[in-house]
């Protein structure tokens, strides 16, 4: 993680990070509201997301930044970014190209439904 992030100090001051300096970032399809995935961002990942127009996350398992779609082609084009009322979660509304999940599913929430929606 980059301790010298260029994230706007006013934004950085509002973030409530985990002990390891991260905030959860929910990616949502901007026009349908479909929840696509959850990733993790530190200040630098959020800065890159805000300034490049593509979602950048911090990989906890690999210990490195990754920009969604760089290897898969399944790019997330950022439409808007919002901070929740507590400052501990980021909502990134995106235009998802292809699958959002590393398994190839449209969303990370397609395959393991614990309880069907009412009326199903």
> Which pLDDT tens digit goes with each residue over 5-53?
798 899 989 999 989 999 999 999 999 999 999 999 999 999 999 999 9
The parent domain of residue 27 ranges over 9-96
The span from the CA of 11 to the CA of 24, in Å, is 15
Look at residue 13 and tell me if it is in a domain: yes
pTM equals: 0.88
Per-residue confidence (pLDDT) for residue 114, from 0 to 100: 78
Tell me: pLDDT of 1 over 70: no
Total number of domains in the chain: 1
The tokens for 63 are 């210990």
Domain-embedded: residue 4: no
* Residue 109 belongs to a domain: no
Reduced DSSP (H G I as helix, E B as strand, rest coil) percent helix, strand, coil of the chain, to 5: 10, 30, 55
pLDDT at residue 20 in the model:
94
Q: Is 112 exposed, middle or buried (0-12, 13-18, 19+ CB in 10 A)?
A: exposed
pLDDT for 115 equals: 80
Residue 5 pLDDT: 78
pLDDT digits (tens, 9 = 90+) for 81-116: 999 999 999 999 999 999 999 888 999 988 777 787
Residue 92's domain is classified under what CATH number?
Answer: 3.10.20.810
């Amino acid at each position: 993680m980059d301790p010298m992030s260029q994230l706007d100090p006013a934004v950085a001051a509002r973030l409530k990070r985990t002990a390891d300096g991260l905030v959860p970032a929910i990616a949502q399809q901007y026009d349908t509201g479909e929840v696509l995935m959850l990733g993790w961002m530190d200040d630098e990942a959020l800065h890159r997301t805000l300034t490049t127009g593509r979602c950048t996350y911090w990989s906890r398992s690999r210990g490195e930044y990754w920009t969604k779609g760089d290897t898969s082609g399944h790019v997330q084009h950022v439409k808007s970014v919002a901070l929740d009322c507590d400052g501990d979660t980021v909502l990134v509304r995106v235009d998802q190209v292809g699958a959002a999940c590393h398994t190839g599913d449209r969303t990370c929430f397609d395959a393991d439904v614990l309880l069907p929606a009412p009326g199903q």
